[in-house]
């Protein structure tokens, strides 16, 4: 596993229908060593920190294995940062990473907290508003992580698995908690047993369980 690219975004105002929206989803690769604190990558900006940032969603990881599949399906090359990820990585597909897993990435330690749930801004970036639903159902959402040990990281750093969460719920499986189907209730109950699950997901899944 390897950190291939660190991607930073600055706030931009873009046109969406008849209104302007602010977003930090347009991220570009940056060189050098970068500091990562409890709230994420120094210098990175989010327009909606309630939904796209905070301690439980300090960093968004997306793996090159997912990139390759999308490139085949979309018929075009996608640069690092294409999905709004902070870290473009290799060797971390959604089916192999679990909620609660702990990794060492360069000089930081992170813990997986939840899959990424796309909003309409991903559709704007991909120039296809139907892409959001397609992404959600793809099983290739990538994941957010909290910072257990702040530090520094740079493209090219190795990634090492430190702890496998004993609950064994993969990021790919966890997404089924949001999709109506035969396994939704089962996955929700499994996810809620994981202490590392983000607070936002805990709140949302409890509501879904009661509805």
Segment 188-197, tens digit of pLDDT: 999 999 999 9
| pLDDT greater at residue 45 or residue 167 | 167
Strand boundaries in 101-168, DSSP class E = 102-105, 108-115, 143-149, 151-154, 159-163
| Residue 57, pLDDT above cutoff 80 | yes
Task: Give tens-digit pLDDT for 127-161.
Answer: 888 999 999 999 999 999 999 999 999 999 999 99
| Cα torsion through 120, 124, 128, 131, rounded to 10 | -40
Delineate the domains of the chain, giving CATH numbers in brackets: 2-210 (2.40.33.20)
């Amino acid at each position: 596993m390897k950190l291939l690219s660190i991607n930073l975004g600055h706030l931009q105002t873009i046109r969406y229908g008849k209104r302007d929206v602010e977003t930090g989803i347009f991220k570009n690769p940056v060189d050098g060593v970068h500091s990562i604190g409890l709230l994420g990558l120094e210098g990175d900006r989010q327009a909606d920190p309630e939904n796209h940032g905070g301690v439980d969603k300090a960093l968004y990881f997306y793996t090159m294995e997912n990139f390759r599949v999308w490139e085949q399906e979309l018929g075009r090359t996608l640069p690092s940062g294409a999905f709004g990820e902070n870290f473009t990585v290799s060797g971390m597909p959604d089916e192999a990473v679990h909620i609660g897993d702990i990794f060492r990435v360069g000089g930081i330690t992170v813990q997986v907290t939840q899959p990424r749930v796309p909003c309409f801004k991903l559709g704007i970036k991909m120039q296809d508003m139907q892409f959001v639903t397609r992404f959600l159902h793809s099983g290739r959402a990538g994941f957010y992580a909290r910072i257990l040990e702040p530090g520094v990281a740079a493209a090219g750093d190795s990634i090492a698995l430190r702890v496998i969460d004993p609950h064994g719920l993969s990021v790919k499986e966890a997404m089924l908690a949001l999709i109506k189907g035969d396994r939704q209730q089962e996955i929700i109950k499994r996810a809620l047993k994981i202490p590392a699950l983000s607070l936002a997901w805990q709140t949302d899944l409890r509501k879904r369980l009661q509805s």
